[in-house]
Amino acid sequence: MTGLYTRWALILGATLLLAILTYQHYQQHLSTLSMGTLLSSPPVTQPVRIQGMVKSGTLQGDVEQGQATFEFVDGAASLAVEYQGPPLENIRELKTLVLIGRWDNQAQIFRARDTALINNFGFVAAAYLISVLALGWMVFAMSQRVMVLFKEIKESKLYEPEADSLGHKE
Amino acid sequence: MINRIIRQIQRYKGWFGGGAALCIFLGLYIGLLASPPDYYQGELVRIMYVHVPLAHTSTLAYSVLFFGSIWYLWKRDPLVDNMCQASASICALFTSLALITGSIWAKPTWNTWWTWDPRLVSFTVLLLILGGYIMLRRLVDDPVQGGRYAAILAIVGGIDLPIIKFSVEWWRTLHQPMSFSTRGVSISEDILVPLTLMSIGCWLLFAYMVMVRTQILYLTDLLHAKKGRFLSQTHFSQTTP
Amino acid sequence: MPFFKTIRWVVWKDLISEWRTRETMSSMLFFALIVILVFSFSFSMDQDAARQLIAGIIWVAFTFTGIIGLGKSFTSELQNDCLESLQMCPAPKGAIYLGKVAANFLFMLSVEILLFPLFVLFFNLDVIEAVGTLLIIFFLATLGLSSVGTLFSALTVQIRAREVMLPVLLLPLAVPVMIAAVEATRGALSGDPFSFYSQWIQLLIIFDIIFTVVSFWLFEFILDS
């Protein structure tokens, strides 16, 4: 039963690896940049994801053909967007969504290529963390208890009736 | 006979644990990283990969408890009683996790943490019954009597649960038409692969946990017996003339 | 002792001891009155609100009152070791169960029938056409509550914290009875045609049959030791 802790170290390592991989995946492919960061230090080559709202009264172009221009706002900051990509089925004014594309610093225009749904990674992460941690902790506690019990049984002495005050055995 | 089966299973429990770990890690990897997001729900669909297997497993756990209880009342095998006790507490764990993850999923999807959805209500009632079961176990001094009473509760609850689910569903559809259904969307292959892997993983994990927990209860009884603290009424009446 | 004679004697015994002490019925009645008062304080109701809520209030009051009666049903057997005499009695255990169910059913139903006019009075209900259906609903729901409740009353009587454990174990299992009784009562009180809520009455009948049979079978395991 000395293998218990090695086994659990392996499982813990695998879980951590998975968590790190997921976090990297999230950082690279799913996290959104705030508009302020984009404007102050624009990454030139990488496509970025920004979240915001279509400003009312600015949506123009042929949405079904996948071409549109509009202003995109996030709090105080705003951007001019030129969209060219897959047909936009469910875009409308005042809709909050995530745009994927490049920031053109010279023209001061965000050239979007695709859209995505707003992400709620907090919820996903919470659900996974709660279930994995609770289950893992339970299984670990149970295996440890088995080990302790085995040891205790081995060490405990067989029952002998105690002598009472008169010296008689029960 | 069941004794021998359980002992055989105990011997190979490592395989169950290993299989569960493998399936769950693979399922987590595919569910979190390799599978694409859902068209309607986006990344939120990933919560389903933990929530649905947990819910399935808790119904499996209750069926084990139900049939085990019938078996115990019939044959009075203490090891089966231990198994029932083990699966009840593990069922409670799985049910509460399913409720918590369901609630986390409901917040961004339905914009509320809690709604009187039929499935949610029947799982809550299941949790209440299990809570009563665990409390009942602790409140009876004589373990043999406690096992019998708990088995009776589990059997009545097992027969009642389908009726509860049915009546709650009826009640909700009467008051508010089912505006949201998760089963309406046909399940694509992308969803099916991680879901199946996680389900199998959770079933194996449940089997493994039941075995370990049964072992714990059995060993605790053994320890008490060895220390002479086996205070069962029947044991007492047999040893003292 | 033959089966039906045992049932009759158990019912007779409970009725006589109730007649001599009048403990169960009076405590149930007073408790129910207090529940009605608390409800009318906590929701200051006008006529419309009363019609919406009354079915629920009636059944909450009836269920909690019933639990008091069910708890008393076996705790009264603890005095003078009557429970052990019941265990050792050379009669079929199922007959004892059915006798106890019948006695509890009679107590609960008579309290309900005594209380219902008070509900009508306090909440200005209009019930003249619905009395027949309401009686059927009361009959079926009370039978369901007492069949499961008697089993759990016998089960909790021998454990610690029995007063708490009876409702804790019984109420989750009685969810279908509660839902069906409330819905059917609401339908009957609002004057809907019978076909609107007959499904709930069917549910009550199914529940009664299933749980009387199941509890009848399981009761043997409670009293044997």
Count, residues in chain B: 241
Contact B168 C207 (CB under 8 A): no
What angle (nearest 5°) sits at the alpha carbon of residue C24, between those of residues C73 and C158? 30
Question: Is the pLDDT higher at C1 or at B15?
Answer: B15
Q: Which amino acid is at B155?
A: I
Most B CBs within 10 Å, among A120, A129, A140, to test the B interface? A120
Verify whether the Cβ–Cβ distance B152 to C169 is below 8 Å.
no
Q: Across the interface, do B28 and A135 touch by the CB < 8 Å criterion?
A: no
Which chain B residues contact residue A30 at CB under 8 A? 43
Contacts of C150 in chain B (CB under 8 A): none
- pLDDT over threshold 60, residue B107: yes
Task: Verify A-C touch: 3 or more CB pairs within 8 A.
Answer: no
- Please report the pLDDT score of residue B119 as a whole number: 83
pLDDT of residue A16: 92
pLDDT for B240: 40
Question: Average of pLDDT values for B196-202?
Answer: 91
- The partner residue sitting opposite B135, judged by closest CB among C151, C165, C173, is C165
What pTM was computed for the model? 0.86
B145 and C225 within 8 Å at the Cβ level: the answer is yes
* Alpha-carbon torsion, ordered B100, B104, B106, B109, to 10 deg: -160
**pLDDT confidence of B215, banded at 50, 70, 90?**
confident
Q: Is the pLDDT of residue B238 over 60?
A: no
Cα of B208 to nearest chain C Cα, Å: 29
pLDDT at B191: 79
* From C159, C179, C222, residue closest to B167, measured CB to CB: C179
Test mutation, B35, B41, B44, B221, chain A, max A CBs within 10 A:
B44
B28 to chain A: which residues are within 8 Å by CB? 18, 128, 132
Cα C134 to Cα B187: distance, rounded to the nearest angstrom: 46
Residues of chain B contacting C, Cβ within 8 Å: 73, 125, 128-129, 131-132, 135-136, 139-141, 145, 148-149, 151-153, 155-157, 159-160, 163-164, 166-168, 170-171, 174, 233
Contact C203 B170 (CB under 8 A): yes
DSSP state of C174: T
Contacting chains of C (3 CB pairs or more, <8 Å) are B
B108/A22 CB distance under 8 A: no
The torsion defined by the Cα of B19, B20, B21 and B22, in degrees rounded to 10, comes to 50
* pLDDT given at position B129: 95
- Interface touch B226/A14, C-beta < 8 Å: no
- pLDDT reported for residue B239: 42
Say whether pLDDT at B56 is over 50: yes
Mean pLDDT of chain B: 83
- According to the model, what pLDDT value does residue B160 have? 93
- Best of C173, C203, C217, C224 to substitute, by most chain B Cβ atoms within 10 angstroms, is C173
Measure the CA angle with vertex B63, ends B2 and B27; round to 5°: 105
User: Given CB atoms, is C138 within the 8 Å cutoff of chain B?
Assistant: no
> Neighbouring chains of B at 3+ CB pairs within 8 Å?
A, C
Per-residue confidence in pLDDT tens, chain A, 170 aa = 458 888 889 989 999 999 999 888 888 777 777 776 777 766 666 777 777 777 777 777 776 677 777 777 777 777 777 777 777 666 666 777 777 777 777 777 777 777 777 777 888 889 999 999 999 999 999 989 988 988 888 887 766 665 556 655 54
Of B56, B215, B221, which to mutate for an interface test with A (greatest number of A Cβ within 10 Å)?
B215
Indicate whether B241 pLDDT > 50. Answer: no
Q: Do B216 and A159 touch (CB under 8 A)?
A: no
Residues 6+ apart with CB under 8 A from C9: C1, C99
For residues C117 and B114, is the Cβ–Cβ distance under 8 A? no
Say how far residue B118 (Cα) sits from the centre of its chain: 19
Distance from CA of B174 to the nearest CA of A (A): 31
What is the pLDDT confidence band of residue B2, given thresholds at 50, 70 and 90?
low
Which residue shows structure tokens 């509550």?
Answer: C145
DSSP 8-state assignment for residue C190: T
For residue C124, the SS3 value is coil
The span from the CA of A88 to the CA of A56, in Å, is 17
Which secondary-structure segment (H or E) carries B19?
Answer: helix B13-29
Using a CB-CB distance cutoff of 8 angstroms, which residues of chain C are in contact with residue B125?
172, 175
In B, minimum Cα distance to A145 occurs at: B216
The partner residues of A73 in beta bridges, in order of sequence, read A53, A78
With cut-offs at 50, 70 and 90, classify the pLDDT of residue B235. very low
Would the CB atoms of A119 and B43 count as touching at under 8 Å?
yes
Among the ranges given (B53-62, B132-141, C47-56, C102-111), the one the predictor scored with the smallest mean pLDDT: C47-56
Give pLDDT, residue B45.
80
| pLDDT at residue C120 in the model | 86
User: What's residue C225's pLDDT?
Assistant: 58
Interface check B42 vs A, CB under 8 A: yes
Residue B40: band (very low, low, confident or very high) from pLDDT cuts 50, 70, 90: low
The pLDDT of residue A48: 77
* B100 contacts A139? CB cut-off 8 A: no
Q: Say if the Cβ atoms of A123 and B215 lie within 8 Å.
A: no
Separation between Cα atoms, residue C133 and residue A55, nearest integer Å:
61
Sort A169 into a burial class: Cβ within 10 Å, 0-12 / 13-18 / 19+: exposed
Instruction: Please state the ipTM of this predicted complex.
Output: 0.90
Per-residue pLDDT of chain C (225 residues), as tens digits, is 688 888 998 899 999 988 998 888 899 999 999 988 888 888 777 777 777 788 899 999 999 999 999 998 888 888 888 888 888 888 888 899 999 999 999 999 999 999 999 888 888 887 788 888 999 999 999 999 999 999 999 999 888 888 899 999 999 999 999 999 999 998 888 888 888 888 899 999 999 999 999 999 999 888 875
Cβ pair A159:B25 closer than 8 A = no
- For chain A, which residues lie within 8 Å of any Cβ of chain B, measuring from their own Cβ? 11, 14, 18, 21-22, 25, 30, 116-121, 123-124, 126-128, 130-132, 134-135, 138-139, 142-143, 145-146, 149-150, 152-153, 156, 158-161
Residues in B closer than 8 angstroms to C159, CB to CB, are 136, 139-140, 149
Instruction: Find, in chain B, the residue whose alpha carbon is nearest to that of A29.
Output: B33
Nearest to C65 by CA among C98, C43, C42, C39: C39
For C150, the 3-state DSSP assignment is helix
- Residue B73's Cβ-count burial label (10 Å; 0-12, 13-18, 19+) is buried
